[in-house]
Amino acid sequence: MRIAMIGTGYVGLVSGACFSEFGVEVVCVDKDESKIERLLRGEIPIYEPGLDKLVTSNAEAGRLSFTTDLKEAVKGADAVFIAVGTPTRRGGGHADLSYVYAAAREIAEAMDGYTVVVTKSTVPVGTGREVERVIRETRPDAEFDVVSNPEFLREGSAINDFMRPDRVVIGAETDRAREVMRTLYRPLFLIETPILFTSLETSELTKYAANTFLAAKITFINEMADLCEKVGADVHDVAKGIGLDGRIGKKFLHPGPGYGGSCFPKDTLALVQTARDSGAPLRIIETVVDINAKRKRQMADRIVEFCGGSMQGKTVAILGLTFKPNTDDMRDSPSLDIVPALIDAGATVRAYDPEGMDEAKKHLDGVVYCSGAYEAMDGADALVILTEWNEFRSLNLTRVKSLLKEPAMVDLRNIYDPKQMADQGFRYQCVGRPLRK
């Protein structure tokens, strides 16, 4: 089997590398020349644990290659995956599908022989049909099928998620296309991964249903955390108490500063638009979107209040800028709302993130970027944990105390124990837990 992966970002590069690990011949395409140049030099343009080894070994084995030449890559491919970005369109919540349709047109021009064109990007219901129309319009003679195969991997654990997924969803409507997809995913059939074959529309909607459900679950526990603070309950115990119920499940019940990242914010917005446009509004998801946007601002207010109500002349040390640990992805990270709000309020922000600093510098101005956690807190009035990187979980609290002006920590990820912090003499604030048990 030979495939072309159009778009070599977080999803395209991981999927391409994993398919090549399955023994498929993969050509990864990107129009970003610098990205391809780096890959050709053996450099990985994103931070994703384990990806460097996987890419290097498969490139050396001759199964994985990189190019900017889409036409060459598509020629003779059994399947062409579209893994380009689908960000929020300017001035509204719809997904911007211009990259998808541009890729579809280019693929159509280059296809020879029967080709399965697979949308791996997250795309609203109806996009697959439109891709089909675009290809047919460009190449009325072409022999092809369009398939939807949304990706469920998570940044930070992307390789394992791709290789051992909970399920694979494939929207394919001909036996021929289903057979190509079955062959590509053969190693997953062998380990008995549930593979769901559906229509195009069902597959496209399933991806949004999954992401918006998870965003709602996070938002639920965030609001529950607020209530816990008011009534003196512990949100972690509540989460455990409900999560042990198999109907609810334990995951995604950890409170924090609001969901972020390259998927949940844009996918919730896009599904809200699809639902409105279809005359079946999803009021629950509309509310989730609203609550989450407000939550990020409330987190900044919480820090200001913790610092005595004014940030004038105050310095805050921020640990963690990416939307979650083990990625360098800054897209829609809560830090992008919280840090500017603190600076606007008059604070000096000293920040450190293990992998996200290069990206952060493109988005956050006026920040003093530091080369380590302890450097960031040197002389600060308060320490704020924004992202729960492992290296922030066991800071030397004696050293922290000696560096801060006063021992004060806002832990928006609940990685420290309130009692231990109190015993160590810290003024400590977390999310949804009583400060003393």
Nearest distance, CB of residue 199 and ligand NAD, angstroms = 20
∠ CA 165-169-170, nearest 5°, is 135
Q: Is 188 annotated as a binding residue?
A: no
Nearest distance, CB of residue 217 and ligand NAD, angstroms = 17
Q: Is 153 annotated as a binding residue?
A: yes
Q: Is 252 annotated as a binding residue?
A: yes
Pairwise CA distance, residues 188 & 164, whole Å: 7
Looking only at residues 141 through 170 of this chain, which bind ligand NAD when binding is defined by CB under 6 A? Answer: 151, 153, 155
Q: Helix or strand or coil: residue 50? A: coil
CA dihedral 149, 153, 158, 159 (to 10 degrees): -40
Burial 285-307 (b: 16+ CB within 10 A, else e): bbebbebbeebbebbbebbbebb
Q: Which of 3, 5, 9, 224 binds ligand NAD (CB under 6 A)?
A: 9
Using CB under 6 A as the criterion, what x/- string covers residues 102-121 for binding ligand NAD? xx--x--------------x
Q: Which of 3, 4, 12, 24 binds ligand NAD (CB under 6 A)?
A: 12
DSSP secondary structure letter of residue 30? -
Q: Is 279 annotated as a binding residue?
A: no
Nearest to 204 by CA among 115, 111, 100, 281: 100
Token couple for 53? 């080894």
| Range in contact with ligand NAD (rule: CB under 6 A) among 5-13, 18-26, 236-244, 354-362 | 5-13
Instruction: Give the residue with the Cβ less far from ligand NAD, 32 or 305.
Output: 32
| Range in contact with ligand NAD (rule: CB under 6 A) among 3-11, 175-183, 246-254, 389-397 | 3-11
Looking only at residues 53 through 112 of this chain, which bind ligand NAD when binding is defined by CB under 6 A? Answer: 70, 83-86, 99, 102-103, 106
Pairwise CA distance, residues 368 & 361, whole Å: 10
| Range in contact with ligand NAD (rule: CB under 6 A) among 7-15, 248-256, 300-308, 311-319 | 7-15
Token couple for 283? 């009021």
Residues carrying an active site annotation: 263
Pairwise CA distance, residues 29 & 16, whole Å: 10
Phi, psi of 260 (to 5 degrees): -145, -155
Asked if 318 interacts with ligand NAD (CB under 6 A), we say no
State which amino acid sits at residue 2.
R
HSE of 372, CA atoms in CB hemisphere, 13 A:
6
Q: Is 255 annotated as a binding residue?
A: yes
Nearest distance, CB of residue 426 and ligand NAD, angstroms = 35
Using alpha carbons only, how large is the chain's radius of gyration in Å?
A: 23
| Range in contact with ligand NAD (rule: CB under 6 A) among 28-36, 174-182, 300-308, 415-423 | 28-36
Asked if 134 interacts with ligand NAD (CB under 6 A), we say no
Q: Is 433 annotated as a binding residue?
A: no
Q: Which of 36, 180, 181, 263 binds ligand NAD (CB under 6 A)?
A: 263
Nearest distance, CB of residue 261 and ligand NAD, angstroms = 7
Sign of CA dihedral 178, 184, 187, 188: negative
Q: Is 365 annotated as a binding residue?
A: no
Chain residues binding ligand NAD by CB under 6 A are 6-12, 29-32, 35, 70, 83-86, 99, 102-103, 106, 121-122, 151, 153, 155, 262-263
